[in-house]
Amino acid sequence: MQKEITITLFGEFENKPVSAYQISNNNGMQVELINYGATITKIITPDRAGVGGNVLLGFDSLDGYLQNGHMYLGSIVGRYCNRIAHAKFTLHNTEYHLAANNETACLHGGITGFDKVCWDAQIWDGNRVKFSYLSEDGEEGFPGNLQIEIIYTLTDENELIIGYSAVTDKATPVNLTSHGYFNLSAFKEPTILNHELVIFADQYTTQFHEPPEPTLIASVKDGPLDFTKSKKIGRDIKQLPGGFDHNYVLNKTGKNALEKAAGLYDPTSGRVMDVFTTEPGLQLYTGNFIELAAGYHADNDTFINHAAVCLEAQHFPNSPNEPVFPGTILNPGETYQQQTVYKFSIR
Ligand code: GAL
């Protein structure tokens, strides 16, 4: 039987109400979404004993999200998630300038990205909520009016399906992702260092440093970034300053096909999360800056570094400046489409 989506007031942003939408399925899962940032605030899913727990880092009220915008907790990130080098790109002979909010780069869409605006929400049916947002021509320096739709669906197969689409009236880069921080023990384990992770990627894109160094595609083989065989996230993490914050080049067999990108397993609770995506890349970010969360230190030990892990499906960083990377330019008359699925099960 189809359950009803419940709506509650979550807070207020710029004099507009922010609502929480709770979708439940028939297998013990519940997902909560808010129209600020088209954000996922909670994912409750059963453990091996059938006991539900929230596996997503988030806050119970809007304040936490407003105070911690730098974390992009559970939000949709865009217009261009990840980094654009030197905060600029050239398209059809015009140079576009963006906000340099991450040293010299533009990160996650600039100062006021899609995670920091209110979206229109619509209940699509009993297990689906649609969020829409019009990003106006020139917003954060990007060209073109971009109309975006995100549809979240919770199925009885314990899949959270995120369907993205967008159209524009001028050519523009588009790279959208969902920035959820997961701890499959439902935060009973203080960190995700004992979670086992596999990523179906033989290569990654090197972090771009200060240009003229371009972003390169390099092999993960036998190094700390190698997750081609399942291993504990904590095994090699110390070899990387701060932890993992890398974009993997997925071993895709078909362009734009929905394929398995990664699998995450928490041996203590038995929870498994498999990630499927149409995207060419996956950013692995091990919550290296979580302890910078504002106002939540004193009595909340959940907000510690590596408390949760992000597996963000997306295009490669800096693609607008890297002609050999899969293209991220959306032209008028085309439709941007992405689907990413987080599927929960137990082992
Ligand atoms: C990640 C990014 C990190 C950090 C984080 C938010 O997607 O790769 O470097 O900015 O978002 O704190």
Write down all domains in the chain, each with its CATH number in brackets: 6-189+283-346 (2.70.98.10)
Gap from CA of 332 to ligand 1 centroid (Å): 30
Q: Is the CB of 178 under 6 A from ligand 1?
A: no
Q: Is the dihedral of CA 135, 136, 138, 140 positive or negative?
A: negative
Give residue 187 CA to ligand 1 midpoint distance, Å.
Answer: 20
Task: Locate 327 and state its tokens.
Answer: 């293209």
Active site residues: 179, 312
Q: Is the CB of 242 under 6 A from ligand 1?
A: no
pLDDT score recorded for residue 209: 57
Sorted by sequence, the CB contacts under 8 Å of residue 253 that are 6+ apart come out as 259
Rounded Cα distance, 67 and 229, in Å: 38
Residue with tokens 């021509």: 137
Q: Is the CB–ligand 1 distance for residue 292 below 6 Å? A: no
Q: What is the rounded CA–CA span in Å between residue 326 and residue 209?
A: 20
Atom of ligand 1 nearest to the CA of 72: 6
Q: What pLDDT was estimated at residue 296?
A: 57
Cα 315 vs. chain centroid, distance in angstroms?
Answer: 12
190 CA → ligand 1 middle, Å: 20
Residue 163 alpha carbon to ligand 1 centre in Å: 22
| Contact 36 CB / ligand 1 (< 6 Å) | no
The answer to whether the CB of 283 is under 6 A from ligand 1 is yes
Name the residue among 275, 247, 249, 271 with its Cα closest to residue 261: 275
Each residue's pLDDT expressed in tens, for the chain with a length of 347 residues:
567 899 999 999 999 999 999 999 999 999 999 999 999 999 999 999 999 999 999 999 899 999 999 999 999 999 999 999 999 999 999 999 999 999 999 999 999 999 999 999 999 888 999 999 999 999 999 999 999 999 999 999 999 999 999 999 999 999 999 999 999 999 999 999 999 999 999 999 987 655 556 778 999 999 999 999 999 999 999 999 999 999 999 999 888 899 999 999 999 999 999 999 999 999 999 999 998 876 554 455 788 899 999 999 999 999 999 999 999 999 999 999 999 999 999 99
> To test ligand 1's pocket by mutation, which of 71, 106, 107 has the most ligand atoms within 8 angstroms of CB?
107
Measured between its terminal Cα atoms, the distance across the chain in Å is 26
Contact at 8 Å (CB) between 166 and 147? yes
Distance of CA 285 from the midpoint of ligand 1 (Å): 7
* 70 ligand 1 Cβ < 6 A: yes
Residue closest by Cα to atom 5 of ligand 1: 71
Strand partners, 276: 260, 341
**Nearest atom of ligand 1 to the alpha carbon of 77:** 7
pLDDT, position 1: 59
What pLDDT score does 298 carry?
46
- Answer whether 285 contacts ligand 1 (Cβ < 6 A): yes
Token couple for 282 = 């996956």
d(CA 41, CA 37): 10
Nearest to 232 by CA among 272, 265, 256: 265
262 strand-pairing partners: 199, 275
Reported pTM: 0.96
